Amino acid sequence: MSRARSTIIRCVEQEIYLEEVTCIIKGRPISNDSPIIKLNPVLDKDGVLSVGGCLPLEYLTQPGKHPVVIPRSNHIAVLIVWHYHQQVAHRGRYITEGAIRTAGYWIVGSNGLVSAIIHKCVICRRLRGTLQTQKMADLPADRANPGLPFTSVGLDVFGPWNFVTGRTRGGSADSKRWFVLVTCMPTRAVHIEVLESLSASSLINALRRLFSICGPAKILRSDRGTNFVGACKDLNLNVDKPDVLNYLRGKGCTWIFNPPHSSHMGGAWERMIDIARKILNAMLLQKETTRLTNEVLCTLMAEVMAVTNARPLVPVSTDPDMPAVLIPFMLLTKKADPLSAPSGNMDTTHIYTKQWKQVQCFADAFLKRWKRDYLSTLQSRRKWTEEKHNLKKGDIVLLKDDQATRNEWHVGMVTYTLHSRDGHVRKVELRKSKQGNVNTFLRPVTQVVFLLSEGVDKE
């Protein structure tokens, strides 16, 4: 084994460092352009090129006195790195390099080679690989379409909050209420309805109240909560694929579901829920008691809705000629008349004598400010600015599970990729096997770790 090792390494060195070996044999100095001139190379008794170095040899162990010089470009270097990377139980680059150096090998330019091999290691990806990301997608078209308020909405449920339902001699009976928050996608206005339970029937009643007050919505967006899915079934929605638009029969309404475990795709309404929670907590701290009745709780939610709709949509201007602050409530007051106003340039001469011209001028002023001040703030991508690797059919991935440790995460295979309008993959269909049962489901790329591509050389 020792003779075979020396013969193989000697052949590799003579192929790459023939000039250096010849100079050492003939006693000539090595050229300054040589990549190993700083190693002070020497030949051992077997004719293998080794590191001479400048350290006292008595302080070094036997394998580390004269490490064998291995060129990075040769396949032997790759095999050595793979071997000792497995020997150290797939630890990091520094530990792998230390094991290689201790074994008596000096790989020229080993930093980049070890890092590249660890980057390709499937086991290391499974242990320490990061979740997939992708460049931020373009905003939906309905997010930038200045139509009537609550024509395109996103909704989610939050809660519960406790309240007193009745008082008896033995004490008080408590109950819970949930709330469905509906946010208008273009204007960022919100509407809150009370739910007695998380059932589909309670959600349908809340939607009927919303449509009665604000008018029917054309596009609804939500996550895949059980009450939302149940409401779709009760409303005769046909959910074949998550990315297919499902039309509400008789209403001309579209309900779009986000993939499971993808709360970042519903940031427009998740942020509003966070604001509503903070406002409600602040209001409850101002009360003498937190034991509320149903009437007080509903009134509080109306106050939360009013405060939320009074928030500025853009930074407050310091220009004295623009004292007004752009808020969602400015547009909500226009919805008293759902009929579209006459188009064209409005003459401001009679705005103080004719009320319909006042309304139209205020609406035009809001629309101009909405396009100039608010719509422009949505143009920049604040994060996820780089294009990432697109997953493709046949890729092997690791599925994130918040309820289990990383070693217990399941491995799945991508069976279908859903491309956005810009050609990037942000949702994938996966297949995994558990105890002989094969399951297929949808996940965003932020919930998987890429392990291996189909057809990649597994060496």
The average pLDDT across 352-372 equals 54
CB 398 within 8 A of CB 408: no
Least confident of 21-25, 315-319, 437-441: 315-319
At residue 174, the 3 state secondary structure works out as: strand
The average pLDDT across 201-211 equals 85
Per-residue pLDDT for 452 more than 50?
yes
DSSP structural state of residue 290:
S
- pLDDT (tens digit per residue) in 256-300: 888 888 888 888 888 888 877 877 777 666 555 556 777 777 877
Q: What is the pLDDT of residue 335?
A: 40
Q: Please report which confidence band the pLDDT of residue 341 belongs to, taking 50, 70 and 90 as the band edges.
A: very low
User: Beta strands of 212-361 (E only): which ranges?
Assistant: 219-222, 246-248, 253-257
Per-residue pLDDT for 102 more than 80?
yes
Per-residue pLDDT for 37 more than 50?
yes
Per-residue pLDDT for 78 more than 90?
yes
Per-residue pLDDT for 124 more than 80?
yes
Q: What is the pLDDT of residue 113?
A: 93
Q: What is the pLDDT of residue 116?
A: 92
The average pLDDT across 311-326 equals 68
The average pLDDT across 312-322 equals 68
Least confident of 241-255, 306-320, 438-452: 241-255
pTM of the entire predicted model: 0.65
Of 85 and 20, more confident: 85
CB 397 within 8 A of CB 449: yes
DSSP structural state of residue 263:
G
CA angle 66, 71, 74 (to 5 degrees): 135
Query: What count of Cα atoms within 13 Å lies in the side-chain half-sphere of residue 327?
Result: 15
CA distance 95 to 115: 12
The average pLDDT across 190-205 equals 86
In this structure, the strands spanning 171-184 and 246-248 are unpaired
With residue 206 as reference, give the H or E element that holds it.
Answer: helix 200-214
Q: What is the pLDDT of residue 366?
A: 54
CA distance 183 to 419: 27
Q: Please report which confidence band the pLDDT of residue 218 belongs to, taking 50, 70 and 90 as the band edges.
A: confident
In this structure, the strands spanning 253-257 and 219-222 are parallel
Least confident of 56-60, 175-179, 330-334: 56-60
Least confident of 104-113, 149-158, 255-264, 334-343: 334-343
- In one-letter notation, the amino acid at residue 302 is A
CA distance 194 to 295: 11
CB 372 within 8 A of CB 426: no
Q: Please report which confidence band the pLDDT of residue 227 belongs to, taking 50, 70 and 90 as the band edges.
A: low
At residue 361, the 3 state secondary structure works out as: helix
Q: What is the pLDDT of residue 170?
A: 56
Q: Please report which confidence band the pLDDT of residue 244 belongs to, taking 50, 70 and 90 as the band edges.
A: very low
Exposed, middle or buried by CB within 10 Å (0-12, 13-18, 19+), for 14? Answer: middle
Q: What is the mean pLDDT of the chain?
A: 77
The average pLDDT across 349-356 equals 46
DSSP structural state of residue 193:
E
CA distance 443 to 401: 12
Q: Please, which contacts does 371-378 make with residues 24 or more away whose CB atoms are closer than 8 Å?
A: 371/146, 373/313, 373/314, 373/326, 374/313, 374/314, 374/326, 375/144, 377/314, 378/139, 378/143, 378/144
Q: What is the pLDDT of residue 248?
A: 47
Q: What is the pLDDT of residue 284?
A: 67
Per cent of the chain over pLDDT 90 is 16
Of 153 and 337, more confident: 153
Q: Please report which confidence band the pLDDT of residue 457 belongs to, taking 50, 70 and 90 as the band edges.
A: very low
CA distance 114 to 92: 9
Least confident of 18-22, 159-163, 229-233: 229-233
- pLDDT (tens digit per residue) in 385-442: 788 888 999 999 999 988 888 888 889 999 999 888 888 898 999 998 877 788 888 8
Place of tokens 């094969």: 438
Per-residue pLDDT for 133 more than 80?
yes
The average pLDDT across 7-20 equals 88
Per-residue pLDDT for 239 more than 80?
no
Q: What is the pLDDT of residue 286?
A: 59
The average pLDDT across 312-318 equals 71
Q: What is the pLDDT of residue 81?
A: 95
What residues have CB less than 8 Å from 449, skipping those under 6 apart?
125, 126, 129, 130, 131, 132, 397, 398, 400, 409
Q: What is the pLDDT of residue 367?
A: 58
Of 363 and 336, more confident: 363
Q: Please report which confidence band the pLDDT of residue 241 belongs to, taking 50, 70 and 90 as the band edges.
A: very low
Asked if omega into 160 is within 30° of 0 (cis), the reply is yes
